[in-house]
Amino acid sequence: MASQRERVTPWGLGAVLVPVVAFGLFLWGRPPHHGTSRPGPGAPVFVRDRTPMPTGSLPGWHQVFADDFSGSALDTSKWRLYWGQPGGDPGGWFDPSHVSVSNGQLVITASRDPAHGGRWATGGVSSSPGLVQTYGKYLVRFRFDAGVGIAHALVLTPADGTWPPEVDFSEDNGSSHRATLATLHYRPRDRKISGEEAVDLRQWHTLGVEWTTGLLRYTLDGRTWFTTANPAVPRVPMALAIQTQAWTCADTWAVCPGRSTPRVASLRVDWVVAYAPAAPR
């Protein structure tokens, strides 16, 4: 387990995902874009390993949210779609047409979209319709297609749209998908406490966070890999967001798509579960 400390990492220096998420939250209320374009044929669908979605409660935790994406469309009673330009990233675009449910997976694709001038478009979802809570445990099982320049983020962000705080319990800058970054953003000047862990995100893994009073425990496949104990840990209602993004080549932190980037790259989510702290008996 990595030790908790405040530090500036190469990722932390440019972790400007925050305005991206905040802008996505702002755009929830806007009508989706109904362009006629759709991403081209996706990468081959990989057979999932047989790690089942957890059911029921855990010691100290009561399950309050679960989605194994077994239907044919996104459950809009649980998820809200992003639409619009990510804040701080003129090279990206969120479009609901890049979010689908098939083969028991949530699929968020990245591709050049003719409906948006050929720019790279991606997608994102928020749990705000189905789950907003203060403190909880979150688990997301996913894998990411290889694709330089396409980044991902699993994020807890305030339900009222303010910022900071923000808890990123898995994100990357699109460079290789061979590591994950966890970051607590806090205070108006965006101070950060970050940790980085090597992991091949092109394979199936379960990333998560346990959020309690003054404490964040970041988990990977059931083990805690990084811990943050700090009074700045959020104490406000938060929603879960899952998203991908293509960054502009002018950004100093993220890597932009290039010649090696496949025509379509997808984040594939097998299931999502969340828990609230169990009431003491």
pLDDT tens, position by position, 133-168: 999 999 999 999 978 999 999 999 999 999 999 999
196 pLDDT higher than 70? yes
> What tens digit of pLDDT does each residue of 16-67 get?
444 444 444 444 433 333 232 333 333 344 445 668 999 999 999 999 999 9
From the list 33, 191, 50, the residue with the least C-alpha distance to 99 is 33
Local confidence band at 106 (pLDDT 50, 70, 90 cut-offs): very high
CATH 2.60.120.200 fits 10-29+70-275, yes or no: yes
pLDDT of 74 reads 98
Q: Which residues, at least 6 apart from 43, have a Cβ–Cβ distance to it below 8 Å?
A: 145, 262, 264, 265, 266
Pairing of strands 124-126, 120-121: unpaired
Q: By the 8 A CB rule, do 246 and 264 touch?
A: no
Tokens of 136: 């909880």
Mean pLDDT across the stretch 109-130? 94
pLDDT of 29 reads 38
Q: Which residues, at least 6 apart from 216, have a Cβ–Cβ distance to it below 8 Å?
A: 167, 169, 182, 184, 209, 210, 227, 228, 229, 233
User: pTM for the full model?
Assistant: 0.84
